[in-house]
Each structure stands twice: as C-alpha cells, then as structure tokens.
Amino acid sequence: MMNLLRKLRRGPSCSEILEILQSYLDGEVDAVDARKVAAHLADCTECDRESQIYRKIKSSLAGRRMHVDPEILAALRQFGQKVMAERSD
C-alpha cells in the first residue's frame, strides 16, 4: 500500500533519499538535491526519523562520547534492512 502511494506521489523514493541523506546532513549535496531531501523529510515520518538517527550518531561521534548508543545502531540497522528489502522486489 505504501509502495502504491509512493508511485502516485511525485518525487524521490525513500531509498533514493536514504542514499543521499548522509551527504545531505554533511552539506555535500547540491541545492536541487537538498531541496528534494528537505521536502521528503517534511513529508515522510520514517525518513525524518532516520535523519534524526544520523544526526545523533554524528553528534555523538563529534562529541567526547565516542561510543554510539547500541539502541540507535539497532534502529539504524533495522531501518536499512527494511529499505533494502523494499528495493529487492
């Protein structure tokens, strides 16, 4: 059902967004891609959650605490697997 909604909707899919999400958060994408990602994140709870996970990882790596919360890693892995499963059909 979600896949159908995504097909009807204009714009990139979640897996496309996730591919460039890290670059986006690092400020390494161009203005067109940045706008696409921002629009998608505003519209998609799951990708928005994913972007928050990346942010947490980045800030915990940047801070004194080098250890990444295992809960965050588990959530990230789970989400990645889900996206890969959706892509492989």
Query: DSSP secondary-structure letter at 28?
Result: -
CA distances from 15 to 45, 59, 60 (A): 14, 23, 25
Q: What's the start-to-end Cα distance of the chain, in Å?
A: 14
Residue 44 in contact with Zn ion, rule: CB under 5 A: yes
Residue 41 in contact with Zn ion, rule: CB under 5 A: no
From the list 21, 37, 47, 83, which residue makes contact with Zn ion (rule: CB under 5 A)?
Answer: 47
Residue 18 in contact with Zn ion, rule: CB under 5 A: no
Residue 14 in contact with Zn ion, rule: CB under 5 A: yes
Nearer to Zn ion, 24 or 47 (CB): 47
